[in-house]
Amino acid sequence: MRKLAAFLLAASAVAQAPVTPQPVGSMIELMRDVIYPTSDAIFYIQRNPPKNDQEWNALRGTALTLAESGNLLMMPSRARDQGDWMRDAKLLVDTATDAWKAAQAKDVNAIAALNDRLYTACVTCHEQYRPGYRKRL
């Protein structure tokens, strides 16, 4: 009986231990494998606009992935600071959320209209935080 009580107590302690989110991929991997391809689907929407429900469903998922990736950038272990970094990531979340809603509405023009805003979210952050960005020439 004592062993059972001790086990339950230990299990309860484990269950109550705080779980903090931990990055799986590096920043480069997150950019290259998630944000890059998903943002391209939004940037170049007019190149290959969805032609059927299946393609719209895929784009909807892509836009949602991009929006959620902005949240991943705001994870404590990824955020460089609580100021500009968070503001830029929030712009990515908000813009991609609008793309997600536009994909739900199957509105190509609304997605295309987000091009400048999405570009601003990317470039503003890169200019401040990406080493060597636009300093090569």
Instruction: Give the shortest CB-106-to-other proteins separation in angstroms.
Output: 20
3-class SS shares of the chain: helix, strand, coil, % to 5: 70, 0, 30
Question: How far is the C-alpha of 53 from the C-alpha of 19, rounded, in Å?
Answer: 38
φ/ψ of 77, rounded to 5, equals -80, -10
Q: How far apart are CA 38 and CA 108, in angstroms?
A: 15
Residue 39 found at the interface with other proteins (CB under 8 A): yes
Q: Does 102 bind other proteins (CB under 8 A)?
A: no
> Contact with other proteins (CB under 8 A): which of 5, 16, 83, 131?
131
Q: Which of 14, 17, 28, 77 binds other proteins (CB under 8 A)?
A: 28
Q: Is 92 in the site for other proteins (CB under 8 A)?
A: no
Does residue number 80 form part of the binding site for other proteins (CB under 8 A)? no
Q: Is position 43 an interface residue for other proteins (rule: CB under 8 A)? A: yes
C-beta of residue 116 within 8 angstroms of C-beta of residue 76: no
